[in-house]
């Protein structure tokens, strides 16, 4: 005969505590110079994560310029492939597609 199945959920945290609290004494948090909002009240960890600098959040000005330039150049090369008889080489078409894919790759780096 199989053992009876568990009928309800059990307590996960020790009795008398709330999630995020511990009954063990905790070490004092390190002092943060000049930034009193570095820790949140609901922090469950004493580990400090510094904010990401603004210069790392923004892409350089050349990224969107390169992205649009590759898209436009690739489209022009593909259009010329079909309009001009002298452009009827497969490598020209592959070059246009590579430019468009390069623009898509550059778009993934834009922030």
- Alpha-carbon gap, residue 87 to 80, rounded angstroms: 7
pTM for the full predicted model: 0.50
**HSE-CB for 69 with a 13 A CA cutoff:** 6
pLDDT bucket at 2, cuts 50 / 70 / 90: confident
pLDDT for 29 beyond 80: no
Residues in the chain: 111
User: What is the structure's pLDDT at 111?
Assistant: 83
* 99-104: average pLDDT: 97
Give 104 or 30, the one with higher predicted confidence. Answer: 104
Mean pLDDT across 8-16: 69
Structure tokens that stand for 67 in this block: 């992205």
What CA–CA distances, in Å, run from 70 to 3, 28, 73, 81, 87?
66, 54, 5, 16, 19
Measured CA to CA, the distance from residue 74 to residue 80 in angstroms comes to 10
pLDDT digits (tens, 9 = 90+) for 34-58: 555 555 555 556 788 888 777 677 8
Mean pLDDT over all residues of the chain?
A: 79
- The two structure tokens encoding residue 64: 């969107």
| Residue 76 structure tokens | 């022009």
More confident of the two residues 14 and 41: 14
- Domain residues of the chain, as ranges? 55-108
Lowest-confidence pick of 8-12, 56-60, 99-103: 8-12
Q: Measured at the alpha carbon of residue 70, what is the angle toward residues 107 and 78, in degrees to the nearest 5?
A: 125
**Regarding predicted confidence, which is higher, 39 or 3?**
3
């Amino acid at each position: 005969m199989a053992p009876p199945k568990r009928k309800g959920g059990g307590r996960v945290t020790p009795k008398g505590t709330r999630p995020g609290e511990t009954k063990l004494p905790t070490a004092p948090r390190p002092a943060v110079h000049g930034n009193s909002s570095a820790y949140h009240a609901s922090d469950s960890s004493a580990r400090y994560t510094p904010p990401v600098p603004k210069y790392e959040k923004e892409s350089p000005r050349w990224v969107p310029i390169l992205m649009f330039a590759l898209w436009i150049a690739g489209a022009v090369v593909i259009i010329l492939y079909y309009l001009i008889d002298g452009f009827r080489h497969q490598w020209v078409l592959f070059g246009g597609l590579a430019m468009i894919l390069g623009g898509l790759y550059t778009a993934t780096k834009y922030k």
